[in-house]
Amino acid sequence: MRSILWRKFKDRSALLVITVLAFLPALPLFHILYGIFRLGLPAFSWSFFTHLPTPPGEPNGGVGNAIVGTLMLSMLASALAIPVGILSGVYLSEYARGRFGEVVRVAADVLQGVPSIVLGIVGYLWLVKPMGHFSALSGAVALSLMMLPVIVRSTEEILRMLPYTLREASLSLGVNYWRTVIKVLIPTGLVGITTGILVALSRIMGETAPLLFTAFGNPFWNFNPLQPVDALPLTVFKYAISPYQDWIRQAWGASAVLTLMVLGLNLISRILARRLSGDGK
Amino acid sequence: MGWGDPDRIFYRLCWGLSLGMVFLVIGIGITLFWGSLPSLKAFGWHFLVGRIWDPVNEKFGALPFLVGTLITSFGALILTLPFALSSGIFLAEYAPPRVADGLSTVIDLLAGIPSVIYGLWALFYLVPLVRWVEMKLGVIPFGLGLPTASLVLAVMILPYAASIIREVLRMVPHELKEAAYGLGATRWEVIRGVSIPYGLSGIVAGLLLSLGRALGETMAVTMVIGNRSEMPRSPWDLANTMASVIANEFTEASKDIHLSALIEIGLLLFLITLGVNILARIIILRLQVR
Amino acid sequence: MGNRETIVDPRGPIIFDIRNLWAYYGEKPAVKGVTCKIPEKRVTAVMGPSGCGKTTFIRCLNRLHELSPGARVEGEIFLRGKNILEIDPVVVRRRVGMVFQKPNPFPTMTIYDNVLAGYKLLGIKLRREEADRLVEEALRKAALWDEVKDSLHKRGTYLSGGQQQRLCIARALAVKPEVLLMDEPTSALDPKSTAKIEELVVELKKSVTIVIVTHNIAQAGRVSDYAAFFYLGELVEFGPTSQLFTVPRDKRTEEFLKGKFG
Ligand SMILES: Nc1ncnc2c1ncn2[C@@H]1O[C@H](COP(=O)(O)OP(=O)(O)OP(=O)(O)O)[C@@H](O)[C@H]1O
Ligand SMILES: [Mg+2]
């Protein structure tokens, strides 16, 4: 018989080792957040948010154009991905039976697995090359390809969770199926669908790789979707690998803005998700 | 019911958009293939085994990047494994609900931080750390290179792997664990003897999905890998991964054949991640059947 | 709390001496002040309407109750004179085995390994011959040997429900417990498998004490020597089965046996 003491000892050691190893990953997170806010917040100022970038060494450089660019890219990408994503999600949950539904699901999963840099290449080949120049639109297309599968799958999942009786109730009132979907199902699942969209949005806001050769970057104000724009992650990248102290300081500043945006979206989607699970009961 | 019926139109619309998504995926594959055609024609299979990447003399072999990608990704997976397993086990088996909630939140936030910020952090904190270790070990203290890239990748895929492992372990039926406790097993013995074997294929699938992420991860790696397009000679060397060489050279490629070679690397990356993801899904499907 | 006269001490050697046992889920008691003695090498049936605390009660006897979140136990449970609430649960559970309501063989293990799970999980190494002997002995005791002797290295989950349950019994017997707790072991099985397990229970009491929870009054009558009747967490009546069934002393027992609630 194995000694009970030895087995107990192993049990305790396993608990100890696993607990320690489980908490260690929290260290880099706190260190990253600490770095972002300790080095990033001091860079915040009025001019930082409203000015254009300046050459290294010149004071009062800002990331105003990058903030505008990030918002523009996010909105364009959402405008492309949300309608398609929701309706495909509706298709999967309401209509898809058999083979074709599976094919669509697999397509969504495959799309989700495509590395973002590859989507950048695709955006380049589809839009930049034919148009002859970089543009916000091409960046938004690449980003929308990243959003799409997330929205499709989350919409499908949310709609599937709705009870069948809800559909019956509406249909028995003589309401068309499509009206039932638009007026009953989607509003009922709205919180969940929105959560999915926010998750997708928080993912693409920080993406750099698909923008490198699509949106490209632009040191000036630009509100035209057909022209190149700057974006916060592009600024972080460009400044971070530069040798200038001033720019590096601004890289941390831009990271802080980006982190606040992304974590903010994350937080909102979490609160929504919590409300959702509360409502579900 | 003809085309005029609104229900029919709505159905067609949803169906059409779904079909569109399928074509989109196929289109991505075809686009990449078409873009790589000049390179495929010029180099054929030599592209995969060529060790020289020389845009000036138009010699393109992708082997250094394949090697760089494999080393950093598997390195990251190995580095992350003990932590991801522990986090998953801790969250599923040991943690009281409140602690589990807190730690899960931390892990999710870690997953939400943009890649480029990981890169910035790695550049300023990991690089000096690695340089210090390299000096102690007496290798050339680049600070940058394969070890730094593997480390930052490990940090990045950890939350992903940990949350999959947590979900897999939570699916282990309670009756099985009770049966083991009923035989006098300690908690660790239950985890080792029942939970982990039961969830093994799910854990493997989760690790594969994490590997898929690491393979395609671009920005953080690009910022710390050193960007040298030669075969790495040691695990401490500067290198390039498939993703990082694309990020670095794509906008600077002035010759068509250079661009096409980079697109072919994109195609390879697409196919490799596709393969890894499909493998993971097959394992998950088999899991559900059981 | 149960009326003293309705709790009859069994004759012969006693294995469990339970005194004022309370079991809680959070603040809610599920077993309320149970006091009784369980006879050795006999079959004791635990009966009562659904939700009255039968499962909770027997799960206290091998300290599985504590695994439920927020669960707590008060009182004393003496196993051959030692209070098991003061012994390491891991040791208690070796001496008091359990068979669950739903058959739960380990799906990752073969039949052979399932029987030896009590050794393998604990990291106890057995010599080949000894392992073979233990497996055969346990499977024979569980009346499963003849059916599986040619497929020992197949997975346990390929067996039928009744066979799986007997495999679980073999698994519990293989570690040679002093007591075997069974929680409605036949409720998920067909009549034929049920009859097999009932035969088995009667056979097994030669070597091991059995405490069996059952919903089925006829089953209790067929297999048990002593019977306990629970109602709303209290032990209402305890005594020889024949006595309890023919001349119940408590009105609630009588009503239960007549099928008034159930
Ligand atoms: N895990 C738990 N958490 C909280 N309450 C529980 C839990 N398990 C059981 N209970 C409650 O404890 C009481 C006793 O439950 P128990 O399972 O012991 O009854 P039982 O007699 O075995 O019933 P059945 O015949 O249905 O198996 C019930 O009121 C039940 O609701
Ligand atoms: Mg019960």
A7 with C122: Cβ contact below 8 A: yes
Residues of C in contact with A2 (CB under 8 A): 122-124
Contact A84, A274 (CB under 8 A): no
C88 with A1: Cβ contact below 8 A: no
Rounded CA gap, B272 and B275, in Å?
5
Task: Say whether pLDDT at C3 is over 80.
Answer: no
pLDDT, averaged across chain C: 93
> Which portions of chain B are predicted below pLDDT 50?
1
Q: Looking at residue C156, what is its pLDDT? A: 86
Q: Looking at residue A96, what is its pLDDT? A: 85
Class of C14-257 per CATH?
alpha beta
Q: Would you list the DSSP string of C110-128?
A: BHHHHHTHHHHTTT----H
Contact A223, A36 (CB under 8 A): no
Give C16's strand partners: C38, C79
Q: Which of A230, A238, A233, A235 is nearest to A206 (CA)?
A: A233
Q: Looking at residue A25, what is its pLDDT? A: 83
Q: What is the DSSP letter of C38?
A: E
In a domain, B128, yes or no: yes
Neighbours of A188 (CB within 10 A): 17
> Residue B123 burial by CB count (10 A; 0-12/13-18/19+): exposed, middle or buried?
buried
> Residue A113 burial by CB count (10 A; 0-12/13-18/19+): exposed, middle or buried?
buried
C88 with A4: Cβ contact below 8 A: yes
Rounded CA gap, B203 and B168, in Å?
7
Q: What is the edge-to-edge ordering of all strands in the sheet holding C209-213?
A: C96-99, C179-183, C209-213, C43-47, C226-231, C234-240
From the CA of C53, which ligand is nearest? 1
Does ipTM exceed 0.95?
Answer: no
Q: Looking at residue C260, what is its pLDDT? A: 65
CATH superfamily membership of A44-277: MetI-like (1.10.3720.10)
> Would you state the structure tokens that stand for residue A49, as one six-digit string?
């948010």
> Would you state the structure tokens that stand for residue A101, as one six-digit string?
């539904």
Rounded CA gap, C142 and C163, in Å?
9
Rounded CA gap, C254 and C237, in Å?
10
Q: Would you list the DSSP string of B36-72?
A: HHHHHHHHTTHHHH---EETTTTEE--HHHHHHHHHH
SS percent in chain B: helix, strand, coil, step 5:
80, 0, 20
Ligand 1: atom nearest CA of C215 is 25
CATH number, position B266: 1.10.3720.10
- pLDDT tier at C4, thresholds 50, 70, 90: low
Give B60's strand partners: B53
Rounded CA gap, C223 and C203, in Å?
10
Contact C227, C39 (CB under 8 A): no
In a domain, B1, yes or no: no
Q: Looking at residue C261, what is its pLDDT? A: 63
Neighbours of A126 (CB within 10 A): 18
Question: A218-249 b/e with 16+ CB inside 10 Å = b?
Answer: bbeebeebebbbbbbbbbbbbbbbeeeebbbb
Cβ of residue A8 closer than 8 Å to a chain C Cβ: yes
In a domain, B114, yes or no: yes
A236 with B116: Cβ contact below 8 A: yes
Contacts of B281 (CB under 8 A, 6+ apart): A106, A109, B205
Contact C169, C181 (CB under 8 A): no
Cα Rg for chain A, rounded, in angstroms? 24
Contacts of C13 (CB under 8 A, 6+ apart): C39, C40, C41
- pLDDT tier at C91, thresholds 50, 70, 90: very high
Rounded CA gap, A269 and C233, in Å?
45
Any atom of ligand 1 within 6 Å of the Cβ of C50: yes
Q: Count residue pairs from B and C with Cβ separation < 8 A.
A: 74
Q: How far is the CA of C83 from the centre of ligand 1 (A)?
A: 24
- Of the residues C21, C24, C34, C54, which should be mutated to test ligand 1's pocket, given the most ligand atoms within 8 Å of the CB? C54
Domain count, chain B: 1
- Distance (Å) from the alpha carbon of C7 to chain A's nearest alpha carbon: 37
Q: Which of C20, C30, C17 is nearest to C57 (CA)?
A: C30
Least CB–CB distance from A251: residue in B110, B120, B277: B120
> Would you state the structure tokens that stand for residue C208, as one six-digit string?
């091991």
Query: C77-86 contacts: CB < 8 A, separation 24 or more?
Result: C77/C16, C77/C17, C77/C18, C77/C19, C77/C21, C78/C16, C78/C17, C78/C18, C78/C19, C79/C15, C79/C16, C79/C178, C79/C179, C80/C15, C80/C178, C81/C17
Q: Looking at residue B1, what is its pLDDT? A: 47
Contacts of C229 (CB under 8 A, 6+ apart): C47, C48, C235, C236, C237, C238, C244, C248, C250, C252, C253, C256
Residues of A in contact with C88 (CB under 8 A): 4, 8
> Which portions of chain A are predicted below pLDDT 70?
1-2, 277-281
Neighbours of B45 (CB within 10 A): 8
Task: Say whether pLDDT at C15 is over 90.
Answer: yes
Neighbours of A161 (CB within 10 A): 13
Residues of A in contact with B124 (CB under 8 A): 35
Task: Say whether pLDDT at C2 is over 60.
Answer: no
Rounded CA gap, B206 and B192, in Å?
18
Which residues 74-93 on chain C approach chain A with CB closer than 8 angstroms? Answer: 88, 90-91
Any atom of ligand 1 within 6 Å of the Cβ of C52: yes
Rounded CA gap, C221 and C218, in Å?
5
Q: What is the pLDDT of residues C22-79, one digit of tens each?
A: 999 999 999 999 999 999 999 999 999 999 999 999 999 999 999 988 899 999 999 9
Task: Report helix angle A190-205 to A136-161, nearest 10.
Answer: 150
Ligand 1: atom nearest CA of C101 is 27
Q: What percent of chain C has pLDDT over 90?
A: 83
B175 with C104: Cβ contact below 8 A: yes
Indicate left, alpha or beta for C196 from its phi (over 0: left) and psi (-120 to 50: alpha). alpha
In a domain, B275, yes or no: yes
- How far CA C109 is from CA of A188, A195, C117, C135, in Å, comes to 45, 41, 9, 14
Q: Which of A146, A148, A132 is nearest to A226 (CA)?
A: A132
Least CB–CB distance from B32: residue in A29, A121, A216: A121
Provide the residue ranges of all domains of chain C, joining segments of one domain with +.
Answer: 14-257
Q: What is the pLDDT of residues A29-82, one digit of tens each?
A: 889 999 999 999 999 999 999 999 988 888 888 999 999 999 999 999 999 999
C104 with B183: Cβ contact below 8 A: no
Residue linked to tokens 């290179």: B145
Residues of B in contact with C175 (CB under 8 A): 183-184
Q: What is the pLDDT of residues C160-207, one digit of tens each?
A: 999 999 999 999 999 999 999 999 999 988 999 999 999 999 999 999
Indicate left, alpha or beta for A57 from its phi (over 0: left) and psi (-120 to 50: alpha). left
Pairing outcome for strands C209-213 and C43-47: parallel
Whole-prediction pTM: 0.90
Q: What is the DSSP letter of A43?
A: G
Q: Looking at residue B290, what is its pLDDT? A: 54
Q: How far is the CA of C51 from the centre of ligand 2 (A)?
A: 7
Q: How far is the CA of C223 from the centre of ligand 2 (A)?
A: 19
Residue linked to tokens 């570690």: C175
- pLDDT tier at C5, thresholds 50, 70, 90: confident
